[in-house]
Structure 1
Amino acid sequence: MMSLLCFAASQVLVYYMPSVTFALSLSSETDKLALLALKEKLTNGVQDSLPSWNESLHFCEWPGVTCGHRHMRVTVLHLENQTWGGTLGPSLGNLTFLKVLTLSNVGLHGKIPEQVGRLKRLQILDLRKNNLEGEIPIELTNCTNIKKIYLPYNQLTGRVPTWLGSMMQLTTLFLGRNNLVGSIPSSLGNISSLQNLSLVDNCLKGSIPYSLGRLSCLKLLNLGSNNLSGEIPHSLYNLSNIQKVSLVQNELSGSLPSNMNFAFPDLQLFFIGTNQITGTFPSSISNLTNLKEFDLSWNAFNGPIPLTLGQLNKLEYFHIGGNHFGSGGAHDLEFLSSLTNCTRLSILYFGTNNFSGELPDLIGNFSTQLSFLNMGFNQIYGVIPETIGQLVGLAYLNIGNNSLEGTIPCSIGKLNNLVRLVLEENKLVGNISTFISNLTILSELYLSGNNLEGCIPSNIRYCIKLQILSISYNKLSGVIPNQTFIYLEDLIDIYLENNSLTGPIPLEFGNMKHISILYLNSNKLSGEIPKDLASCYTLVELKLEGNNFHGGIPSFLGSLRSLELLDISNNNLSGTIPLELENLTLLNNLNLSFNHLYGEVPIGGVFSNISSISLTGNKNLCGGIPQLKLPACVRVSSKKHKRSLKSKLIPISVISGVLISFIAFIVVHFFTRNFKRLPSVSSFQNGNSRVTYGELHVATNGFSPSNLIGAGSFGSVYKGSLPNFERSIAVKVLNLETRGATKSFMAECKTLGKMKHRNLVKILTCCSSVDYKGEDFKAIVFEFMPNGSLEKLLHDNEGSDNHILHLQQSVDIALDVAHALDYLHNDTEQVVVHCDIKPSNVLLDKDLLAHLGDFGLARLIHGATEHSSKDQFSSSAIKGTLGYVPPEYGAGSQVSPQGDIYSYGILILEMLTGKRPTDNMFSESLTLLELCKKKIPEGILEIVNSQLLLPFGEDRTGIVGNQIRMCLVKFARIGVACSEEFPTHRMPIKDVIVKLNEIKSKLPCFEENNCVHRKA
């Protein structure tokens, strides 16, 4: 009977076993498919990512995947520190056996999918350090087994969910460094199991909930860097298990209890800096024997510091700066004696208080582990003790802004780990000691505001890491040593002002390629401003006022495009103001006062803003903007000049008259026999040079086809060179048989002749004459642009790097054209509408700086806001270029700056895609604009010109790849916003400039030779 039963049972098992196996296989197949779908979203479909996730291995053996032994279902998914930049797909919800999900620092963007709520076995959710957006999904409430949630370092929005209070198994909740708003929900006090709570660095406001005092298991509480207000609730002092508390950078008030040791017996870290807390220093702090880090900085504490802090034998960080501690008495610093017993102390900050007293010798008794010592901005007096040289571990020493006297001790030279040394604003005397040569890794040196004497020591050249040198407001004399600054190539800021330095500016200053600030003012320096400074392209502020410099203002200053402040007042400079200073688009503070300048004041750039310039004390200046109230520049007429010479030339007038008449007769007789008309000439716009048809004929090799560089609707352009002009020229010869060519010639000469801007093609002269056949000849002479037109770079790709336009360069060129349009539309006396913005009219110099040219269709509008009918022109008179002409012109509307904005938007989209708006792929149903609209943002990589991404190599994924895509999306959106159908909806050009600069600031650089985008 028993054997029969066993047989029957075995038959049942045989019958059902296939279905069980099939069910397990089906479930496993579900996990496999879910992982593959997840991979597709995580990696944006890039095949080289997660290469081991393929059929060659069982999915339970894939990297980052752990399966349970019983069911072979995925229980752990752990992937981190990648640069994929994808999204978290909904297939995640099919991994229903998942207990641990860790996808930290893999560049995720988008929202946390609601399908996460299907992971009912989930215990740990770790998505930290990504770019996730949106609100925390409420579906997480279905994950009733969850214990740890890590979502910091994302872009999450919304409020801290109140439903988190229902997750009763939760032990860790980290939501810091997001964009969460609102108040901290009191429901969090219901999570009795909670041990770690961090909401740091959000936008939370309101008070700290009293209910948090019920979290008896809490060990870590971090609510710092929010906008919390009110007092610290007394209930928090019931959290006897707490070890780390950080409430820094809020608006909390009130005071601390006196029994801190009883409230927090296990306290290791206590940070409440940058609040509004008052009261005295709690002496009970000395009994917190586990305390390692303590910060009361930047509050309103007062009174003395207890003398028992030496009991804190684990103390490593002690910051009480920015309060009102101390009484201004002689015994204020006695607490330092006790602190010397804290042998682990690494950071000691008690600066910006009311401490007085003499700096004691025992300062040298601190542990050699002390790396940071700040006692600046107090009332400490006496001398700096030699014992300071015993603190050989110091990297940062600040004793500035006190009342210290005596000389700088040589023992400071023993502190060869110093990176920052601050001794400024004291009463120190003597020379800058030879100790300086030992500080070979020093990055910042501040000695300003003392009574130091002697010369700048030449051995400062050994501080080859120096970035900031500040020794102003002393009594230094002598010349600035030559061959010293040639070694200091990393210098960024130099402050030598208000001393008695003599001699010229060393030529070696030109070697400092990273310098941003150079203050040499209020000395006794002399000579000319050296042209070597032209190499300092990164200069932002240059102050040379109050010296004895002579000569002219060098024109190279106009090439320092980063300059925001230039002060060369109170010198002996003479000559005229160079027009090149108009090119400094960032310059907002220019002081040329009290020199011997004369001549016409420019009106462009910084000179157009009365509040940004000072010209006082230059008696012979004229012109400029009306607000300067300078006299008009008087130009002596030829008739008046002849009258003034008449009396001097009477003795030879008869002879001269006869000779001149004879020569004139011969010349007229000769030329009228060979030519129908005398050739006339025009003056160069930038000087007194003149050019004739014959000279242009020679300059272009007889207008040879080999010199032809382009042809347009109204004429041809030739490359040439003139003997008296150092750079090549471009000669645009008008085809006068073309209808409208003469009108185009007049418009271009009239428009460009009145304007000067770094991003406009510079016109040299307009020549209206006759050729050797006696036919009318009209030509415009420009500076030659070696890199041709944007059209050539976009569409004449011959496989050479010289024909490849990268993303950084494209943004720069777009900015250049935007600045040109801003000038035309907003900064000229008459609004100028270009009417033909397109790539062939954007010319590029040797540095790829873009210049807008071809003003043959330009129109002047009197007044920026009120346009009379006679000042505007109907579109029937405009021949703009097909594909770039705004739609309203075709409907008969008058020209306007918004029309230029439309064309500019199309130009940006052409740069982005590499496609002309007239490409064969486009039709009435699909235009370049519509294509870009459809592909923003998800499909941006489908339409982008691949050349733009070449500097970034193959790394198109992850954080950097996402950063590049975001820049591309923003670039495309600018083009679309400029090309809106209705003119009033188009993006203003000033907003365009702001948006482009934002893109420029976010563009990554992979290789130095590919990081070619210029500073504005």
Structure 2
Amino acid sequence: MIYNIRHILLLFFLLHNFHDILCNNDTDKDVLLSFKSQVSDPKNVLSGWSSDSNHCTWYGVTCSKVGKRVQSLTLPGLALSGKLPARLSNLTYLHSLDLSNNYFHGQIPLEFGHLLLLNVIELPYNNLSGTLPPQLGNLHRLQILDFSVNNLTGKIPPSFGNLSSLKKFSLARNGLGGEIPTELGNLHNLSTLQLSENNFSGEFPSSIFNISSLVFLSVTSNNLSGKLTQNFGTDLPNIENLFLASNRFEGVIPNSISNASHLQYIDLAHNKFHGSIPLFHNLKNLTKLILGNNFFTSTTSLNSKFFESLRNSTMLQILMINDNHLTGGLPSSVANLSGNLQQFCVANNLLAGTLPQGMEKFKNLISLSFENNSFTGELPSEIGALHNLERLAIYSNRLSGEIPDIFGNFTNMFFLAMGNNQFSGRIYPSIGQCKRLTFLDLGMNRLGGSIPEEIFQLSGLTALYLEGNSLHGSLPHEVKIMTQLETMVLSGNQLSGNISKEIEGLSSLKWLLMAGNKFNGSIPTNLGNLASLETLDLSSNNLTGPIPQSLEKLQYIQTLNLSFNHLEGEVPMKGVFMNLTKFDLRGNNQLCSLNKEIVQNLGVLLCVVGKKKRNSLLHIILPVVGATALFISMLVVFCTIKKKRKETKISASLTPLRGLPQNISYADILIATNNFAAENLIGKGGFGSVYKGAFRFSTGETATLAVKVLDLQQSKASQSFSSECQALKNVRHRNLVKVITSCSSLDYKGEEFKALVMEFMPNGNLDVSLYPEDVESGSSLTLLQRLNIAIDVASAMDYLHHDCNPPVVHCDMKPANVLLDENMVAHVADFGLARFLSQSTSEMQSSTLGLKGSIGYIAPEYGLGAKASTRGDVYSFGILLLEMFTAKRPTDEIFKEGLSLSKFVSAMDENEVLKVADRSLIVDYEYSTQSSITGDQSSGIGSNTHWIRKAEECIAGVIRVGLCCTAQEPKDRWSMREAITKLQAIKHSMLAL
């Protein structure tokens, strides 16, 4: 009886479903025809979809054998576009939906959550937007979910943790954010998880590290934090690919990672992992190991253990341990690495010693990077055996000796950077065999001889750096071959001869720097035809003749430096010459201009109008007449010189000087400072002392100037001197201290002497004004003065960050480096730690000297090894701002155990921020405005309450600006442009009646 009942029920079930299949057959066809009508089909692949044909035969459609129900819709890479129709959810028997690599846009329909039989849904490489529907969490049979490379936003719904059958889950390259739900740890069948290149934040769920079936894990380029679990390798025994790069993961790498013996690809770069460099034993399948940009440490002994642990990784192709804190030397066990090695990078560490021997083993090596370390010794000649090498970077070390004649072997080389070492000898002509070379840097060495003509025959070269050597000779005519050259830097050599006219044909040239050589003759007349030129520096040569008018056409030029030559004639009046901040003509005594602004600011003569050469006889007559007039003039000067000396008094402030003063020698400085007398000592800095000096120039003019004398006993003082000269070379702003000139010579003991001669600021620095010696009287700076000083400093920093090309980062903003002139206008000084934010290799080499700033003002990320940035400057400015308006140094004794000035102020309630302010400011403001304000007292305009309220609003506003500039995360800080805009608005509001 029971047996019969079961059969009856089964028959009833089959009849019911068979009826359902028959009744819904036409529905599937209608759904597909509706889909076709709503999408654009440029390739006409859906042209066969017609109502009079069997839909199961249509392109991309697969049906069940019984009932012809649509089970699969597969239409990838067909350039289809339109919105995804919600009606597709009526394909209730659909098992697989693949519309990848098309142009579908709009949101993912919520109704897709009704496709309960769905196993696969693939929609990557489209333009889908909106959020992920939580209803998709109902698809319990789903094994593949791929929405990668779209424009999706929002969070991952926790309901996705219910997709218990899921094996592949990919949301990479979208705009998703928020925290990754811990519920994903319930996906115990998951083998692939791709969440890279989104905006996920928060701690990465440790529950995901417990999914033992996981083979592929990628969460790169997010903002995730967390640590690898202690049993990481044990919990993920099947993991093959581990991508955690570009996040904020921290902690040490557990030793258990070696238990994940199937690992093939490890990428942990750009995180905060620390501790000893990890060891990777028994990873026989490992092909790529990337640990760069973390905080791993090592010693010579640990380095040996690390490379020894990779002995059995015989398939290793990529090894990158760059940008960490590795120290010690590279052991001989480097030679035991896999012979399959293609990329080897240890750049930007603290490694020393000689380069490892045995490198000739790595015949497959494509890229070798040792740059920015402290390696010494000679370059091993066996590197020449690496015939497949395409990239060799060993710049910024202390390598010495001659460069072996190995270039002829590098026929595949396209990037060769060996600059900033101590290489000597000559450049071998064999370098011309590197026919594929696009980047060549041999600058800042001790190379001599002439530049091989073969270099100028490298037609594909885009960047050439040979500066800072002892190269001589002239530029060959072959330079015209380099039609793709964008950067040519030859400064600081002994090159001579005329500047080849063929250089006019380098149409791609953007940066041409040839300063500090012995070039003579005239500037090529058609140099202005280099339409892409952004920087032209021909300073400190022996060039003669006029400035070519063609230079007026350089519309993209940012820096034009023709100073210290023997140029003559009239300065062009158009184009770049209308912008005084872009060019430098100093030291050309025969140049003149009809533009009075150029005359006043650049020290050229005023052109005499209307006089022309008469005839060749004038060349004989004029010298005779001139000599006679000179003799008579000398007699007159001799008789009157005593009278003029008596009438001339030493100026108490900077006397306006026409042009550049004469070259100031050590003797001049010694006399001006009264043998560096203690009473002329203004202050001391990190790399020297500043003196007040009374100078008398040969013109009879006098000026009181400040002299910064470098203490060359300090190891980095010379580098500070160079950095400051370079930083201030082309910047001009009313709120930057003007450097008049520099002195680099020998003192009377024959020892090296370096000094900078600058404007003198009679009101000293801001630190002295904020904290006078008379402590009881307190600072004399009023509220308005402090606000003006803050705006002045912000204006200077805004100029450096946003108006200089490349941007300049000061790196040491503090009150002691803010100087006040006679009108209490602030000027930013001391650029000894400054650096440029340029991408050119030569400038990237100039690293910050030690720690980037002063204690209390240093941005927190600098303590973690971050590179100098404008956001770091903003942090220092914010601390200075808070200090000015709270009268508390950031190094005050109250700031201990993690408490800082910024945290102290930010801890205050929004309405209590004035509790930390310097209360004397309100009293000062009330007093200074009371006497000058008249009006109806009943209106409140002249009342105490009104002015106190204005002062409080101003102070509170400034403090809030300071807090916005000192946010813990750099990305959360304001820019200097935002800061100065807000400060100016606060001032306007305060002064408005």
In the superposition, the TM-score normalised over structure 2's length comes to 0.56
Residue 527 of structure 1: which of 468, 485, 497 is its match?
Answer: 497
Partner residue of 2:235? 263
Aligned to 2:42: 43
- Cross-structure match for 2:366: 395
How far is 1:347 from its partner?
0.9
Q: 1:101 to 1:559 in 2, by over 3 A?
A: farther
CA distance in 1, matches of 2:52, 2:426: 74
> RMSD in angstroms over aligned alpha carbons?
3.4
Aligned mate of 2:538, from 568, 581, 586: 568
- SS of the equivalent of 2:142 reads coil
What is the 5 A alignment of 1:872-891?
none
Aligned-residue offset at 1:69: 5.6
1:155 corresponds to: 127
Asked whether the equivalents of residues 600 and 624 of structure 1 are also in contact (C-alpha less than 8 Å), the reply is no
How many Å apart are 1:31 and its aligned residue? Answer: 9.2
Task: Name the SS of the counterpart of 2:312 in structure 1.
Answer: coil
CA distance in 1, matches of 2:25, 2:117: 26
Distance across 2 between alignment mates of 1:23 and 1:237: 48
Whether the aligned pair in 1 keeps the contact of 2:320 and 2:344 (CA below 8 Å) is yes
Structure 1's 225 and 25: CA in aligned 2 closer, same or farther, altered over 3 A?
A: closer
Post-superposition CA distance 1:647-686 (Å, at most 9, x none): x99xxxxxxxxxxxxxxxxxxxxxxxxxxxxxxxxxxxxx
**Contact in 1 for aligned 2:33/2:50 (Cα 8 Å):** no
Are positions 1:319 and 2:290 aligned together? yes
Match in the other structure for 2:184: 212
CA distance in 2, matches of 1:115, 1:626: 73
CA deviation vs aligned residue, 1:295-343 (integer Å, no higher than 9, x gap): 2222222222354x23111111111121221244554332101212111
Aligned with 1:417: secondary structure? coil
1:536 is matched with which residue? Answer: 506
Are 1:509 and 2:479 matched, yes or no? Answer: yes
CA contact (8 A) 2:528 2:554 kept: yes
Distance 2:84 2:131 in 1: 15
Correspondence list, 1:419-818, <5 A: 419-486=390-457, 488-619=458-589, 620-624=591-595, 626=597, 629=601, 633-637=606-610
The residue type paired with residue 361 of structure 1 is S
Q: 1:584 to 1:415 in 2, by over 3 A?
A: same
Deviation at 1:117, TM superposition (A): 3.1
What SS class does the counterpart of residue 421 from structure 1 fall into? strand
Shift of 1:209: 1.2
In the alignment, which residue of structure 1 is the partner of 2:71?
A: 99
Partner-residue secondary structure (3-state), 2:526: helix
- 1:131 counterpart letter in structure 2: Y
Give the conservation status (yes or no) of the 8 Å contact 1:222–1:245: yes
Structure 1 463/185 Cα, relative in aligned 2: closer, same or farther at 3 Å? same
Deviations 1:929-962 (Å, cap 9, x if unpaired)?
Answer: xxxxxxxxxxxxxxxxxxxxxxxxxxxxxxxxxx
- Unaligned runs of 5+ residues in structure 1 are 1-21, 74-96, 650-1016
1:151 offset after TM fit, Å?
Answer: 2.1
> Residue 134 of structure 1 contacts residue 158 of structure 1 at CA under 8 Å; is this kept in 2?
yes
Counterpart of 1:840 in structure 2 is none
Deviations 1:429-452 (A, max 9, x none): 222212221111111111111111
8 Å contact from structure 1 (residues 399, 422) kept in 2: yes
Query: What SS does the corresponding residue of 1:302 show, helix, strand or coil?
Result: strand
Secondary structure at 1:99 match in 2: strand
CA distance 1:335–1:113, shift in 2 (3 Å) = same
Shift of 1:52: 8.6
Shift in alpha-carbon separation, 1:548–1:54, aligned structure 2, 3 A = farther
For 1:860-871, what aligned pairs fall within 5 Å after superposition? Answer: none
- Which stretches of structure 1, 4 residues or more, deviate above 4 A after TM superposition? 22-38, 49-71, 630-633, 638-642
Q: Deviations over 1:975-1001 (max 9, x none)?
A: xxxxxxxxxxxxxxxxxxxxxxxxxxx
Q: Which amino acid aligns with 1:449?
A: N
The alpha carbon displacement at 1:610 in A equals: 2.9
Residues 107 and 505 of structure 1: is their aligned pair in 2 closer, same or farther, counting only changes over 3 Å? farther
Report the Cα offset of residue 458 of structure 1: 0.4
Query: Secondary structure of the residue that 1:253 maps to in structure 2?
Result: strand
Shift of 1:65: 5.6
The one-letter code of the counterpart of 1:43 is P
| 1:415 and 2:386 matched | yes
Q: 1:26 to 1:162 in 2, by over 3 A?
A: closer
Q: Deviations over 1:787-823 (max 9, x none)?
A: xxxxxxxxxxxxxxxxxxxxxxxxxxxxxxxxxxxxx
In the alignment, is the contact (CA less than 8 A) between 2:62 and 2:71 conserved in 1? Answer: no
Matched residue count: 596
The alpha-carbon deviation at position 633 of structure 1 amounts to 4.8
**2:28–2:91 Cα contact (<8 Å) kept:** no
- Asked if 2 retains the 8 angstrom alpha-carbon contact of 1:599 and 1:633, the reply is no
On the 8 A contact 2:212/2:238 being kept in 1, the answer is yes
Letter in 1 for 2:401: G
2:84 pairs, out of 104, 112, 131, with: 112
Distance in 2 between residues matched to 1:314 and 1:288, nearest whole Å: 10
- Equivalent position SS for 1:310: coil
1:238 to 196, 210, 222: 210
Letter in 1 for 2:607: V
- Three-state SS of the structure 1 residue aligned to 2:74 is strand
1:287 to 259, 274, 278: 259
Q: 1:148 deviation in Å?
A: 1.8
- The structure 1 residue matched to 2:197, chosen from 225, 246, 249, is 225
Q: Describe the SS at the equivalent of 2:97.
A: strand
Amino acid of the structure 2 residue aligned with 1:637: G
| Identical aligned residues as a percent | 38
Q: Is the 8 A contact 1:379 1:403 kept in 2?
A: yes
Code of the aligned partner of 1:311: N
SS in 2 for 1:580: helix
Quote the offset at 1:479 in angstroms: 1.0
SS of residue paired to 2:503: helix
- How far is 1:543 from its partner? 1.2
TM-score by length of 1: 0.55
Alignment CA distance shift 1:639-1:502 (3 Å):
closer
- Mapped to 2, the partners of 1:68 and 1:217 lie a distance apart of 27
Paired with 2:385 and 2:519, the residues of 1 have a C-alpha distance of 40
Q: Post-superposition shift, 1:57? A: 11
* Aligned partner of residue 448 in structure 2, secondary structure: strand
Amino acid aligned to 2:218: S
The one-letter code sitting in structure 2 at the alignment partner of 1:622 is S
Taking a change above 3 Å as real, the CA distance of residues 27 and 302 of structure 1, as seen in their structure-2 partners, is closer
Letter in 1 for 2:232: M
Cα distance in 2, alignment partners of residues 320 and 24 from structure 1: 57
